[in-house]
Amino acid sequence: MTTVLIVDDDFMVARIHRGFVERIDGFDVVGTAQSGEEALALVESLRPDLVLLDLYLPDAFGLDVVTRLRAAGHTCDVLVITAAKEADAVRGAVRQGVVGYLLKPFAFADLEQRLRSYAAERARGLSDVPTQEEIDAAFTSQPVGRGPVAVLPKGLSAETAEAVERALRESSETLSATECAEAVGISRVSARRYLEHFVSFGQAEVTLRYGATGRPERRYRWL
Secondary structure of residue 161 in the 3-state scheme? helix
Q: Is the pLDDT of residue 81 over 80?
A: yes
Least confident of 4-13, 33-42, 76-85, 141-150: 141-150
Q: Which residues in the chain belong to E strands, given as ranges?
A: 2-7, 27-33, 50-53, 77-82, 100-103, 204-209, 217-222
Q: Is the pLDDT of residue 220 over 90?
A: yes
Q: What is the average pLDDT across 118-133?
A: 70
CATH of domain 2-123: 3.40.50.2300
The helix (run of H) or strand (run of E) holding residue 204 is: strand 204-209
Q: What is the average pLDDT across 41-66?
A: 95
Phi, psi of 142 (to 5 degrees): -130, 135
CB 86 within 8 A of CB 79: no
Q: Is 96 exposed, middle or buried (0-12, 13-18, 19+ CB in 10 A)?
A: middle
> Distance between CA atoms of 61 and 4, rounded to whole angstroms?
20
Predicted structure pTM score:
0.61
The helix (run of H) or strand (run of E) holding residue 31 is: strand 27-33
Least confident of 52-61, 94-103, 160-169, 205-214: 205-214
Q: What is the average pLDDT across 163-189?
A: 92
Range(s) within the chain of domains with CATH label 3.40.50.2300: 2-123
Q: Which amino acid is at 183?
A: A
> Distance between CA atoms of 25 and 52, rounded to whole angstroms?
17
User: Does domain 153-222 correspond to CATH entry 3.90.1150.10?
Assistant: no
CA 205 to chain CA mean position, Å = 11
